[in-house]
Structure 1
Amino acid sequence: MTIAIRCVDIDDIIVKVHEFFIGFINVEDTSGLGLFKRLEDVLIELHLNIDDIRGQGYDNGSNMKEKHDQIGRIEAKGLWMYTLEDFEFLISLCIWYKLLDKVNHVSKLLQQEYMEIDDAITRLKELIIYFENVRECGFEDLMEEARTLARKVGIDPVFVQKRVSRRSKKFDEGVNDYAHGNQSLEDKFRITYFLRIIDQALTSLRDRFEQLERFEELFEFLFNGNSKVLVKSN
């Protein structure tokens, strides 16, 4: 059995994902229970708490001989296929890919060993402008991209009305809280999902931008004709 562990580092503002190959583990019992017990032993050896772990395991289909495992696999496959065939899920993937690809590019630049603070400010400013442009005029392009992809994989490129649980209106909720009730499903998605993601990202980026500007102002006296203040990104 092959074991690999993916770790999410959230110690910094920028979330990082690391993956480690642990090795090949000898297995005698290839049933679901046998694999779990073997994996449990490995985690104990690595001093990892199983309660903190989310993982995926593949056993080359040997567990299909067990009735309950087979039912579980069928149900999981059905849920997986249902999710992938949902256009809302597809457009969500397009949005995240576009945004994270840009953020990842800038993040790598900021982590360069000799990144200067004024250059870092410029990069962040460019990223903020990029997000602002996407917010203003990028949704339709993303929708068209998702529609094209949906047609290629055989998914109906429309939003489907999902069942919404009803609740009583609270005394401190205004008319605007329910204003989206008459909007189309596409508009609802744009407002409650797309714009919310963009606005949260812009808030974080602007905070970081203002912080770097304050640092530059504080350490401006260190500048001379041949030196720059370096920014260290951990």
Structure 2
Amino acid sequence: MSLIIRYVDASSGSFCIEESSLGFLDVNDTTRQGLFDALKNELKTLDLDIDNLRGQGYDNGSNMKGIHKGVQSKVLKINRRAFYSACGCHSLNLTICDMAKSCRKASDFFGVIQRIYTTFASSTKRWQILKNNISGVTLKSLSSTRWESRVDSVKAIRIQLPEIREALLQVAEIDKDPSTSSEAQSLAENNLCDFEFLVSIIIWYEILSAVNLISKELQSKDMLIDIAIESVKGLISFFTKYRESGFSKALEAAKEIAKEMDINPEFRTKRKIKRKRQFGEGADDPSIVSQSAEESFRVNYFLHIVDQAIVSLNTRFEQYEGYE
């Protein structure tokens, strides 16, 4: 467990807010009580009076943030002025994870992103082929604990789609391993040439870029709680507006890329599954009107992840409202 303290330094005659990392604590007992005891003992060892504590912040683990039995509640029982605030950046990370896991299409999208990275990264020869084709941002692996890796991973492909496809085609042609060759061919000709993937990568790049901007602000050394609240509100406002206009703009951007890569700028129409019409249903009954492939993508994917973001942000940052 890492221990970081923020304090007011008045030694120079003026008041200055400082932040220092005091190191890592070797914790074997990760229960609520075990973590609390480790924290309390370390503060005592450092000769820091817990009664002088005016704030506490942890990740979103229930053993830390629990309002009844978590570490924060145990500290509050000793010192009622040690107000708790969840780590804003970790909350943003969990929001992104909520979105990425909210529907099958989102999970599949990041699965493709990781497959592209793995294809090149598992061989120095294939990695060199990649480097020979790109001149900008290199590919990054995904990480569930470091959400910013999603930004890096998506950005690298978003701005270099034609080059990465060409690198995959070269791997497919010269790699002697049939499995690797087949995987590279599939990624280049099926996934990267799928208009749905193009729209997805534009949507995710815009979303992740917006979240990354707020994350950087929340990590600022001089960040104040009222500014943090406004930043989170601004992010929620972004998603609300993006919900209304983001899809159409993403479509236009995807069509430009599709034209450059000679890809058909249309969503693939899946085979319709007919169901038996029930007694009393007419041919034009609204309940049996099928959606177009584009509308289905907008409703079941785009709106789904954006709505998930709004709900998750409101839920994970609702505690901030109590500090306004």
Using structure 2 for the length normalisation, give the TM-score: 0.44
Give the aligned residue type for 2:225: I
User: How far did residue 165 of structure 1 move?
Assistant: 7.8
Q: 2:295 is matched with which residue?
A: 187
CA distance, structure 2, for counterparts of residue 10 and residue 156 of structure 1: 44
Give the aligned residue type for 1:157: P
Change (3 A) 1:95 1:179: farther
CA distance, structure 1, for counterparts of residue 205 and residue 242 of structure 2: 13
Q: Which moved more, 1:82-91 or 1:70-79?
A: 70-79
Report if aligned partners of 2:270, 2:293 keep a CA contact under 8 Å in 1: no
Q: 1:172 is matched with which residue?
A: none
User: How far did residue 180 of structure 1 move?
Assistant: 7.8
Aligned length: 158
Report if aligned partners of 2:92, 2:211 keep a CA contact under 8 Å in 1: no
Report if aligned partners of 1:125, 1:209 keep a CA contact under 8 Å in 2: no
SS in 2 for 1:154: coil
Change (3 A) 1:180 1:212: farther
Greater relative contact order structure (CA < 8 Å, 6+ sep): 1
Q: 1:77 is matched with which residue?
A: 184
Q: 2:125 aligns with which of 60, 71, 88?
A: 60
CA distance, structure 2, for counterparts of residue 152 and residue 212 of structure 1: 46
Q: Does 1:127 align with 2:235?
A: yes
User: How far did residue 132 of structure 1 move?
Assistant: 0.3
Q: Does 1:13 align with 2:91?
A: yes
Report sequence identity in percent.
Answer: 38
User: How far did residue 183 of structure 1 move?
Assistant: 1.2
CA distance, structure 1, for counterparts of residue 311 and residue 93 of structure 2: 16
CA distance, structure 2, for counterparts of residue 184 and residue 164 of structure 1: 11
Q: 1:90 is matched with which residue?
A: 198
CA distance, structure 2, for counterparts of residue 80 and residue 103 of structure 1: 28
Change (3 A) 1:113 1:86: same
Report if aligned partners of 2:236, 2:313 keep a CA contact under 8 Å in 1: yes
CA distance, structure 2, for counterparts of residue 167 and residue 10 of structure 1: 45
User: How far did residue 114 of structure 1 move?
Assistant: 2.3
